[in-house]
Amino acid sequence: MATYRTICTTRDIPEGQARMFVVGDMMFGIFNIGGEFFALDNRCPHAGASLAHGYIEGDTVACRIHHWRFRIRDGKHLDTNRSEKCARTFPLRIVGDEIQVAW
Ligand code: FES
């Protein structure tokens, strides 16, 4: 069963930006889009580049390496309908000012 764990605080991620966090063998990209926070597997499903270091525009992020585009809210790969190209997402909740992610 997935357990929520604190990753960072809401103050760590300015609006319209993302940060990478490593917890054990997990690597998360936490995104702040208009004051809403989302957690993605930080490794691009194409070849593993950091999505937190991608180009954020509105609610999408484009990988820096080969420019695959993902919808941040649900990880959907925006250039195809192929689920294997989607970024993995994780449940996220805010407790006080802590951002907690479940995996
Ligand atoms: S590593 Fe992300 S698109 Fe290739």
CATH, residue 69: 2.102.10.10
Paired with 92 in beta bridges are 101
**Count: domains in the chain:** 1
Q: Which of 18, 59, 13, 58 is nearest to 41 (CA)?
A: 18
Of 27, 40, 43, 44, the one to substitute when testing ligand 1's pocket (max ligand atoms within 8 A of C-beta) is: 44
At 65 the pLDDT is 97
At 75 the pLDDT is 97
Domain encompassing residue 16 = 4-102
46 burial type by CB count under 10 A (0-12 exposed, 13-18 middle, 19+ buried): middle
pTM here is: 0.96
Which stretches of the chain drop beneath a pLDDT of 50? none
Of 43, 68, 77, the one to substitute when testing ligand 1's pocket (max ligand atoms within 8 A of C-beta) is: 68
CA distance 92 to 103: 10
For residue range 76-95, list pLDDT tens digits in order.
999 998 999 999 999 999 99
At 50 the pLDDT is 98
